[in-house]
Structure 1
Amino acid sequence: MRIVLWHVHGSWTTSFVQGPHTYLLPVLPDRGEDGRGRARTWDWPANAVEMTPEELRETDVDLVLLQRPHEAELAERWLGRRPGRDVPVVYLEHSTPLGGVPDSVHPAAGMPGCTLVHVTHFNRLFWDAGATPTTVIEHGIIDPGPRYTGAEARAAVAVNEPLRRGRVTGTDLLPHFADAVPLDVFGMGTAGLADHLGLPEERCRSRELQQEELHTAMAARRVYLHPFRWTSLGLSLLEAMYLGMPVVALDTTETAEAVPPDAGVVSNRLDVLREALRAFAADPEHARLTGERARAAVSARYGLHRFLDDWERLTKEVTR
């Protein structure tokens, strides 16, 4: 089966292209947002194939996977076929609605022939899809291995663009947590974060790393902190659990579903979260045992094989 999808979410796509099909990734000369092609910071298999718009028009396609509203128009223009009418279509929604919650109408509502897929049950509940068929396929994570050492009594935070995204990612909360345990914030656009927050560099260090380096660096920190207020279930949270890290997270969106009580601390009380950070930092054995339970939990629910099986069932349903 030949599936067209845009390279939008690198971590999610890394799991998706592990499947048995040929994945056609639009590429443009500038490799901008509508034509990134193959990933350059993840290891993707050979069945993830770059194609120009001209090549796509000459290629038989079995399914189009949309992830952004304007991709329906791009697909029709580049393929010369209308998604949902001339070629089967699925719309994958990664995110929670940003405006008009909880009355947000999804862009795929009413799209002819479309099936809408959410990555969490929370997202499905909060988006209004109208009569569009809707389902949930939860995340699947490639096992990075049990790398946890917890050698540094610091908390890891993984977030891209924390200055731009602000309250959504809980950036404003970081000084509250840095007062309890020093933080290492990993991600793009993190330079200057300590100055922006008025924190000493030692209390809030920023680093931009490639994916392989990131996992090893995170696993050397004692605990993972997930301060996100309003976002879909972060893959960084699940990856941290897979590494064997204990987690401390806000009790928002789907987090409580993903983190069992014995795998970390989930709360909306800042005092509870600060105390949890202190406790993990002060007790390496407690942190290690909690991280082992976190790894077991994420392996059981968010394993790659379950994820690929779920997508295989759906693609067969919508293309038959």
Structure 2
Amino acid sequence: MQKEKLKILIIRFSSIGDIIYTTPVVRCLKQQVPGVEIHFLTKPGFRFILDNNPYVDKLHLLQNHLNDTIRELKAEQFDYVIDLHNSLRSVLVKYKLGVKFYTFKKQRIRKILALKFKLNTVKPTHLVDRYLETIKFLGVVNDQKPVDYFLPGDYSLNTLLPETHQQDYVAFIIGATHFTKRMPNEQVVSICQSLNKPVVLLGGKDVEENGAIITEAAGAKVYNACGKLNMNESVYVVKQAAKVIGFDTGLTHISEAFNKELVTIWGSTVPELLGVQPYQVTKHYEAGVELPCRPCTKFGRSECPLGHFKCMRDIDEKAIVDFVNREL
């Protein structure tokens, strides 16, 4: 007989986009299962995504020694574990806890076949829907709402951006971990120069130099905020933007929480393979090029394996500009 009130642990260790896409699962559980208590286990570096989420009752952070983490979790006496990571470490956690668990299916073999042989083995089902399949045994259904991101405290554009870029601006997210996820600087410059609004470049310290090069070439229309803002400040700038352009990176996926008009730019990766196409965004444009060599990776590469980098260089810049410049 099922307990009247359930205590559930959700596991997803990384990364930003993957954790963001777990937030509808958390919300639907909390809103549709009466009295449920939701705990979430992730890595310390990603706590900012869930720290302020009102649907998470308790956040657990992975410790240096896995046994210490397991000891902490055992004391909670969970009814179920929902493993949305499906890694060796998450397997160890759920088996050690000794309670009933349900596991996200990663489709590893199908993805390998899709990458290596360019076979149509992976259905373009969104990751959110695949996550939700894991909890359907509780009668939970998709509420068809966007992902969640809850900012802590108050922010002000007056302290984050120059006066020239505080209203009706485009947030252009140029940060991405891997080279093949980033559009070359000269193409970013070309797009920025063709936009009819001020542009704020966003990204971490790793693309600060790229931002400086783009800003110098594009002129006063562009402000380089790369490396100047922390993640939550960057999220706030995205939230206040008129429109958003972004590569396949965490901040771009976070932007989906605010249902902005969004352009996503895809190089060596394709959203359908991982199910990470813009989710519940009313107006969006996915920029990419059909090539026999694409996709060449799930996560991005340090260089184009064929040397031509056509997946980025051949992208239709005009289509991006037209989408962003249109006024309804």
TM-score, length basis structure 1: 0.53
Q: CA deviation at 1:247?
A: 3.0
Q: Does residue 155 in structure 1 map to residue 170 in structure 2?
A: yes
Decide whether aligned partners of structure 1 residues 60 and 142 sit closer, same or farther in structure 2, where only a CA change above 3 A counts. Answer: same
**Correspondence for 2:243 among 218, 223, 226:** 223
Q: Aligned partners of 2:49 and 2:250: how far apart in 1? A: 24
Decide whether aligned partners of structure 1 residues 152 and 139 sit closer, same or farther in structure 2, where only a CA change above 3 A counts. Answer: same
Residue type of the partner of 1:23? I
TM-score, length basis structure 2: 0.52
Q: Aligned partners of 1:94 and 1:214: how far apart in 2? A: 33
Q: Aligned partners of 1:276 and 1:223: how far apart in 2? A: 10
Instruction: Determine if contact 2:70/2:97 at 8 Å carries over to the other structure.
Output: no
Q: CA deviation at 1:68?
A: 4.8
User: C-alpha deviations, 1:283-306, integer Å up to 9, x for none?
Assistant: xxx2xxx4xxxxxxxxxxxxxxxx
Q: Does residue 177 in structure 1 map to residue 191 in structure 2?
A: yes
Unaligned runs of 5+ in 2: 1-5, 31-35, 62-68, 132-140, 152-156, 158-164, 289-315
SS at match of 1:185: strand
Residue type of the partner of 1:56? L
> Which residue in the other structure is 1:247 paired with?
262
Decide whether aligned partners of structure 1 residues 22 and 178 sit closer, same or farther in structure 2, where only a CA change above 3 A counts. Answer: same
**Correspondence for 1:60 among 77, 88, 107:** 77
Unaligned runs of 5+ in 1: 28-32, 107-116, 125-135, 281-285, 291-320
Once the two structures are superposed, the pairs formed by residues 173-212 of structure 1 within 5 Å of their partners are 173-181=187-195, 183-189=199-205, 190-195=207-212, 199-200=216-217, 202=220, 203=222, 205-207=224-226, 208-211=229-232
> Which residue in the other structure is 1:70 paired with?
88
SS at match of 2:100: coil
Q: Aligned partners of 2:214 and 2:190: how far apart in 1? A: 11
Q: How many residues align?
A: 235
Q: CA deviation at 1:102?
A: 4.2
Residue type of the partner of 2:225? S
> Which residue in the other structure is 1:270 paired with?
317
Decide whether aligned partners of structure 1 residues 151 and 169 sit closer, same or farther in structure 2, where only a CA change above 3 A counts. Answer: same
Decide whether aligned partners of structure 1 residues 210 and 139 sit closer, same or farther in structure 2, where only a CA change above 3 A counts. Answer: same
User: C-alpha deviations, 1:251-299, integer Å up to 9, x for none?
Assistant: 8636588556xx355555222212333x34xxxxx2xxx4xxxxxxxxx
Give the % identical residues: 9
Q: CA deviation at 1:22?
A: 2.8
Residue type of the partner of 1:206? A
Decide whether aligned partners of structure 1 residues 50 and 143 sit closer, same or farther in structure 2, where only a CA change above 3 A counts. Answer: closer
Q: Aligned partners of 2:75 and 2:231: how far apart in 1? A: 35
Q: Aligned partners of 1:93 and 1:50: how far apart in 2? A: 23
Decide whether aligned partners of structure 1 residues 4 and 144 sit closer, same or farther in structure 2, where only a CA change above 3 A counts. Answer: closer
Decide whether aligned partners of structure 1 residues 5 and 101 sit closer, same or farther in structure 2, where only a CA change above 3 A counts. Answer: farther
Q: Does residue 11 in structure 1 map to residue 20 in structure 2?
A: yes
SS at match of 2:243: strand
SS at match of 1:141: coil
SS at match of 1:224: strand
Residue type of the partner of 1:274? V
User: C-alpha deviations, 1:21-80, integer Å up to 9, x for none?
Assistant: 3333447xxxxx4x5685477413361243732122444331231315233443256x25
Q: Aligned partners of 1:186 and 1:94: how far apart in 2? A: 33
**TM-align CA RMSD:** 4.8
Instruction: Determine if contact 1:156/1:183 at 8 Å carries over to the other structure.
Output: yes
Q: Which has the higher contact order (CA 8 A, sep 6+)?
A: 2
Q: Aligned partners of 2:255 and 2:117: how far apart in 1? A: 24
Decide whether aligned partners of structure 1 residues 71 and 256 sit closer, same or farther in structure 2, where only a CA change above 3 A counts. Answer: closer
> Which residue in the other structure is 2:313 paired with?
none
Decide whether aligned partners of structure 1 residues 26 and 223 sit closer, same or farther in structure 2, where only a CA change above 3 A counts. Answer: closer
